[in-house]
Amino acid sequence: MALIILDSCINCDMCEPECPNQAITMGEEIYEIDPDRCTECVGHYDKATCVSVCPIDCIDPDPEHQEDEATLMAKYLILTGKA
Protein backbone atom coordinates (compact mmCIF):
# COMPACT_ATOMS: atom_id res chain seq x y z
CA MET A 1 0.00 0.00 0.00
CA ALA A 2 1.37 3.42 -0.85
CA LEU A 3 1.59 6.03 1.87
CA ILE A 4 -0.14 9.38 2.18
CA ILE A 5 0.84 12.56 4.00
CA LEU A 6 -1.99 13.96 6.09
CA ASP A 7 -3.13 17.59 6.25
CA SER A 8 -1.44 17.90 9.65
CA CYS A 9 1.94 18.03 7.86
CA ILE A 10 4.05 20.99 9.05
CA ASN A 11 6.39 21.01 6.01
CA CYS A 12 9.42 20.27 8.16
CA ASP A 13 11.35 18.95 5.13
CA MET A 14 12.39 15.73 6.89
CA CYS A 15 10.67 13.20 4.61
CA GLU A 16 11.48 14.39 1.10
CA PRO A 17 15.27 13.86 1.15
CA GLU A 18 14.86 10.44 2.82
CA CYS A 19 12.72 8.91 0.06
CA PRO A 20 14.84 6.56 -2.08
CA ASN A 21 12.21 6.59 -4.85
CA GLN A 22 11.79 10.38 -5.13
CA ALA A 23 8.09 9.80 -4.44
CA ILE A 24 7.77 12.81 -2.11
CA THR A 25 7.43 16.33 -3.50
CA MET A 26 6.10 19.63 -2.27
CA GLY A 27 2.46 20.09 -3.20
CA GLU A 28 0.46 23.31 -3.13
CA GLU A 29 0.31 23.39 0.67
CA ILE A 30 2.01 20.27 2.07
CA TYR A 31 4.30 17.51 0.91
CA GLU A 32 2.65 14.80 -1.19
CA ILE A 33 3.52 11.20 -2.01
CA ASP A 34 3.21 9.90 -5.57
CA PRO A 35 1.56 6.47 -5.17
CA ASP A 36 3.10 5.30 -8.45
CA ARG A 37 6.59 5.79 -7.00
CA CYS A 38 5.98 4.84 -3.36
CA THR A 39 7.10 1.33 -2.43
CA GLU A 40 7.02 1.96 1.34
CA CYS A 41 10.81 1.53 0.96
CA VAL A 42 10.39 -2.16 0.03
CA GLY A 43 13.62 -3.14 -1.69
CA HIS A 44 15.55 -0.36 0.02
CA TYR A 45 14.90 -0.55 3.78
CA ASP A 46 13.05 -2.63 6.35
CA LYS A 47 10.52 0.13 6.98
CA ALA A 48 9.42 3.36 5.35
CA THR A 49 12.02 6.02 6.12
CA CYS A 50 9.58 8.88 5.74
CA VAL A 51 7.48 7.44 8.55
CA SER A 52 10.60 6.97 10.68
CA VAL A 53 11.75 10.58 10.35
CA CYS A 54 8.38 12.34 10.55
CA PRO A 55 8.33 14.25 13.85
CA ILE A 56 4.54 14.52 14.03
CA ASP A 57 3.45 11.12 12.66
CA CYS A 58 1.44 12.50 9.77
CA ILE A 59 2.21 9.72 7.25
CA ASP A 60 -0.27 6.87 7.03
CA PRO A 61 -1.11 4.03 4.65
CA ASP A 62 -3.16 5.32 1.73
CA PRO A 63 -6.46 3.39 1.69
CA GLU A 64 -6.95 4.25 -1.98
CA HIS A 65 -3.69 2.51 -2.99
CA GLN A 66 -3.61 -0.86 -1.30
CA GLU A 67 -0.72 -3.05 -2.40
CA ASP A 68 0.80 -6.20 -0.95
CA GLU A 69 4.52 -6.83 -0.42
CA ALA A 70 4.88 -8.61 -3.78
CA THR A 71 3.32 -5.68 -5.65
CA LEU A 72 5.56 -3.19 -3.84
CA MET A 73 8.62 -5.30 -4.68
CA ALA A 74 7.59 -5.46 -8.35
CA LYS A 75 7.20 -1.68 -8.37
CA TYR A 76 10.66 -1.33 -6.78
CA LEU A 77 12.19 -3.57 -9.47
CA ILE A 78 10.59 -1.48 -12.23
CA LEU A 79 11.62 1.85 -10.67
CA THR A 80 15.22 0.71 -10.25
CA GLY A 81 15.46 -0.89 -13.70
CA LYS A 82 16.03 -4.35 -12.22
CA ALA A 83 12.88 -5.86 -13.73
Within the chain, where are the H helices?
49-53, 69-79
Rounded CA gap, 1 and 12, in Å? 24
pLDDT tens sequence across 47-74: 999 999 999 999 999 999 999 999 999 9
Cβ neighbours of 18 (radius 10 Å): 16
Q: What are phi and psi of 76, to 5 degrees?
A: -60, -45
Q: HSE of 22 in the Cβ direction (CA atoms, 13 Å)?
A: 2
pLDDT tens sequence across 8-22: 999 999 999 999 999
CATH number of 3-80: 3.30.70.20
- Domain chopping of the chain, boundaries: 3-80
Rounded CA gap, 40 and 61, in Å? 9
